[in-house]
């Protein structure tokens, strides 16, 4: 087994800026364009908002430095801000980029240069095509087709991407903040908040008998990646992805049935390439597939009503991985994913059958969904409190009664089936996946409800009524923690517990041992693993380190129970493993007090997250506790005390947070 997939990529600047350029002394379009055209370092001697009338093409190496000023660059919801030419280095510092509009890259389109962002806010930009909604759109904030992007301490907020399907071609909305179609992306200490990816509703037929389109799909409210991406210490908060609604049926244009709602694949991140996530937080994000289009009512005698379209499918409320994924030291908490509800059924006319209710869409993967050929490796991750809900089926329409002629009453329509929800934590189809030292706790999965069948219509004469339609099949709720759909999925030293709505896990899992499962899930088969055991977890909290974690209780059976064979050197917070002789199970390692003798004095160290403050206390011969001073845990993950005098008394030590 591989303990962790990882790659280290350092992207360095491959161009050097030219000679310094004059400062922009007047905050207007003309002054900014003139300064950028010269190349080199451009600073600002003014503050304010510069509204651009059209995109600025960056053809020279430029550093655009807003340090010390307060400068906003705006497209006024009419134009893109910058277009970066191939083989050009363009660096932006301490600027706000807002209200850009274009089909590809609302704020910036990078055509093969090196784009460097430091302390930049990219907010309220949009990727959309207002003149032809059926054309593809990507990168509400930034679109990059080649080259590279480095972003440090940047904020990507309230950016949007919209797209609608054409009549024959699916055109999803891709990457509301960033869309990477090739090249490299490196993110450090960035925030992605309240970005919005949405597929528009489907379109009706252009002529009688031609097809109607489905609702458009949404791929990645934060990032769409088909290149290589590394994100470290980033936060993804409150982002939203919505599939478009299916189009309703129309008797005028020849199709009474509604079409299928749009899918959501990767509500926050859609990955086709290679992506590495380290010390990142995903919290309060939402992904909802589109509802099915409504069936239309019949408009000719004895004709059946149109059926409702099926709800769209959800694959990965946070991440869909169709490439290579490494996730380490990350937390996924309080996120929600929804399959689309089915569309309503249309009514028949004068003895016509009622339409069928649309079926609810499935929902797979409350945090992560991996496809068949993908590979995923998770280490030291906390996945807690996520909710996954499948779409509801709709009732069948009642059969039409016969009033004007001697016909029989119409049969009732079939109710739509409820959608299946599986893997509120993880849904792993991939041929190679590993879950090591992770804690997957208190995730909730809910099946879609089925629609009831429609009642039969009454005939003109007794005994000539229609039959009631059958109800749809209820949906299934499966695997609150981990759903294994096939392939080589391995788990070691991990906790799977307290799932709501289903058991923790099912499927053929390669159990490498020392996993803890709070119920009797059948996928854990190794004799060293524990089933039906409460893992003894505290609530999600800031326990030090860059991400929130679930601390172990002192009485937890996970304490000193893991296998050192699979253990990484540090826990999720950066605390060294093991603290004792044997590591703990899950993402959190309980700290130990370790006493070391040095000549005639003693030293004490306590395993804790780097940067956290602790105080040492002691009591002698069972007396009162006394304070021995404070210490901050160092980068090695230890809070250190001493030297302390060695006595012949019985002395007990403990640590506490200030």
pLDDT digits (tens, 9 = 90+) for 112-140: 999 999 999 999 999 998 656 567 899 99
Element holding 31 (H helix, E strand) = helix 29-38
pLDDT digits (tens, 9 = 90+) for 202-242: 665 545 555 567 889 999 999 999 999 999 999 999 999 99
pLDDT digits (tens, 9 = 90+) for 245-290: 998 888 776 689 999 999 999 999 999 999 999 999 999 999 999 9
Please report the pLDDT score of residue 203 as a whole number: 64
Please report the pLDDT score of residue 581 as a whole number: 87
| Residue 620 scores a pLDDT above 90 | no
Instruction: Choose among 287, 252, 262: nearest CA to 343.
Output: 262
Please report the pLDDT score of residue 606 as a whole number: 79
Residues 55, 97: Cα–Cα separation, whole Å: 12
Q: What is the largest CA-CA distance in the chain?
A: 109
* Count of H-run helices and E-run strands, the chain: 1, 62
Reported as a pLDDT band with limits 50, 70 and 90, residue 6 is very low
> Which residue has better confidence, 496 or 616?
496
Strands 387-389 and 223-225: unpaired
Tell the burial category of 74 from Cβ atoms under 10 Å away from its Cβ (0-12, 13-18, 19+): buried
Instruction: Choose among 638, 657, 631, 426: nearest CA to 542.
Output: 657
The tokens describing 436, both together, are: 């090591």
DSSP 613-652: EEEEEEEETT---EEEEEEE--TTSEEEEEEEE--SS-EE
The tokens describing 147, both together, are: 């080259």
Instruction: Choose among 89, 90, 241: nearest CA to 160.
Output: 241
| Residue 651 scores a pLDDT above 80 | no
Mean pLDDT for the stretch of residues 465-480 = 95
pTM of the model: 0.91
Reported as a pLDDT band with limits 50, 70 and 90, residue 2 is very low
> Which conformational region is residue 68 in: left (phi greater than 0), alpha (psi within -120 to 50 degrees), or beta?
left
User: What residues contact residue 94 under an 8 Å CB cut-off, 6+ apart?
Assistant: 65, 66, 67, 68, 69, 118, 119, 120
Query: Cα 525 vs. chain centroid, distance in angstroms?
Result: 30
Instruction: Choose among 236, 291, 246, 292: nearest CA to 267.
Output: 236
Strands 196-199 and 173-174: unpaired
Instruction: Choose among 154, 12, 143: nearest CA to 89.
Output: 12
Instruction: Choose among 606, 589, 597, 601: nearest CA to 653.
Output: 606
Instruction: Choose among 649, 644, 652, 645: nearest CA to 617.
Output: 652
Residues 421, 502: Cα–Cα separation, whole Å: 10
Going by the DSSP 8-state scheme, the letter that residue 339 receives in this structure is P
Element holding 37 (H helix, E strand) = helix 29-38
Q: What is the mean pLDDT of the chain?
A: 90
Residues 558, 331: Cα–Cα separation, whole Å: 19
Strands 613-620 and 626-632: antiparallel
The domain ranges of the chain are: 343-367+377-591, 593-656
Tell the burial category of 262 from Cβ atoms under 10 Å away from its Cβ (0-12, 13-18, 19+): buried
- Dihedral sign for Cα 524, 529, 533, 537, please: negative
| Residue 10 scores a pLDDT above 60 | no
Mean pLDDT for the stretch of residues 415-440 = 94
Please report the pLDDT score of residue 655 as a whole number: 78
> Which conformational region is residue 107 in: left (phi greater than 0), alpha (psi within -120 to 50 degrees), or beta?
alpha
Q: Are 589 and 579 spatial neighbours (Cβ–Cβ below 8 Å)?
A: yes
Please report the pLDDT score of residue 432 as a whole number: 87
């Amino acid at each position: 087994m591989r303990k962790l997939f990882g790659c280290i990529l350092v992207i360095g600047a491959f161009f050097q800026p030219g000679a310094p350029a004059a400062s922009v002394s007047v905050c207007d379009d003309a002054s900014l364009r003139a300064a950028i055209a010269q190349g080199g370092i451009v600073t600002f001697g003014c503050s304010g908002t510069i509204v651009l009338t059209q995109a600025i093409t960056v053809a020279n190496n430029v550093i655009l430095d807003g340090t010390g000023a307060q400068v906003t660059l705006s497209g006024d919801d009419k134009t893109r801000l910058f277009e970066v030419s191939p083989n050009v280095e363009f660096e932006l510092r301490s600027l706000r980029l807002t209200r850009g509009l274009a089909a590809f890259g609302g704020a910036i389109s990078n055509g093969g240069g090196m784009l460097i962002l430091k302390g930049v806010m990219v907010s309220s930009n949009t990727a959309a095509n207002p003149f032809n909604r059926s054309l593809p759109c990507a990168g509400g904030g930034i679109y990059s087709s080649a080259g590279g992007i480095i972003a440090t301490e940047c904020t990507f907020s309230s950016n949007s991407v919209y797209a609608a399907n054409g009549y024959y071609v699916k055109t999803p909305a891709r990457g509301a903040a960033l869309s990477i179609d090739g090249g490299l992306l490196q993110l450090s200490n960035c925030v992605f908040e309240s970005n919005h990816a949405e597929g528009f509703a489907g379109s009706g037929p252009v002529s009688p008998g031609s097809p109607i389109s489905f609702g458009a799909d949404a791929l990645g409210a934060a990032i769409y990646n088909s290149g290589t991406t590394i994100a470290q210490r980033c936060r993804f908060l409150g982002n939203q992805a919505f599939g478009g609604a299916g189009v309703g049926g129309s008797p005028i244009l020849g199709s009474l049935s509604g079409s299928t709602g749009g899918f959501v694949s990767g509500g926050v991140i859609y990955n086709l390439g290679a992506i590495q996530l380290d010390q990142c937080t995903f919290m309060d994000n939402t992904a909802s597939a589109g509802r099915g289009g409504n069936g239309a009512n019949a408009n000719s005698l004895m004709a059946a009503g149109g059926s409702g379209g099926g709800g769209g499918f959800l694959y990965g409320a946070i991440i869909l991985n169709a490439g290579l994924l490494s996730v380490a030291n990350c937390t996924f908490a309080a996120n929600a994913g929804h399959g689309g509800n089915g569309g309503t059924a249309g009514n028949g006319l004068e003895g016509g059958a009622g339409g069928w209710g649309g079926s609810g869409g499935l929902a797979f993967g409350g945090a992560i969904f991996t496809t068949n050929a993908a590979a995923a490796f998770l280490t030291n991750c906390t996945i807690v409190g996520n909710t996954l809900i499948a779409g509801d089926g709709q009732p069948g329409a009642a059969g039409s009664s016969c009033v004007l002629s001697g016909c029989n009453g119409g049969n009732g329509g079939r109710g739509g089936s409820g959608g299946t929800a599986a893997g509120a934590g993880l849904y792993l189809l991939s041929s190679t996946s590993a879950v090591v030292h992770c804690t997957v706790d208190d995730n909730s999965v809910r099946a879609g409800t089925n629609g009831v069948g429609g009642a039969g219509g009454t005939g003109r004469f007794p005994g000539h009524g229609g039959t009631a339609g059958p109800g749809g099949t209820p949906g299934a709720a499966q695997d609150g923690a981990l759903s294994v759909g096939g392939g080589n999925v391995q788990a070691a030293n991990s906790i799977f517990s307290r799932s709501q709505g289903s058991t923790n896990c099912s499927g053929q899992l390669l159990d490498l041992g020392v996993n803890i499962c709070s119920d009797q899930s059948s996928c854990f088969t190794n004799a060293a693993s524990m089933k039906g055991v409460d893992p003894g977890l505290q609530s999600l909290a800031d326990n030090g380190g860059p991400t929130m974690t679930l601390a172990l209780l002192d009485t937890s059976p996970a304490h000193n129970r893991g296998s050192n064979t699979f253990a990484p050197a540090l826990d999720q917070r950066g605390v060294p493993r093991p603290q004792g002789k044997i590591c703990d199970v899950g993402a959190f390692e309980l700290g130990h007090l370790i006493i070391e003798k040095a000549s005639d004095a003693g030293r004490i160290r306590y395993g804790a997250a780097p940067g956290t403050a602790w105080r040492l206390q002691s009591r002698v011969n069972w007396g009162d506790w006394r304070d021995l001073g404070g210490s901050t845990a160092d980068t090695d993950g230890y809070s250190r005390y001493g030297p302390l005098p060695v006595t012949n008394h019985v002395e007990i030590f403990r640590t506490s947070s200030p």
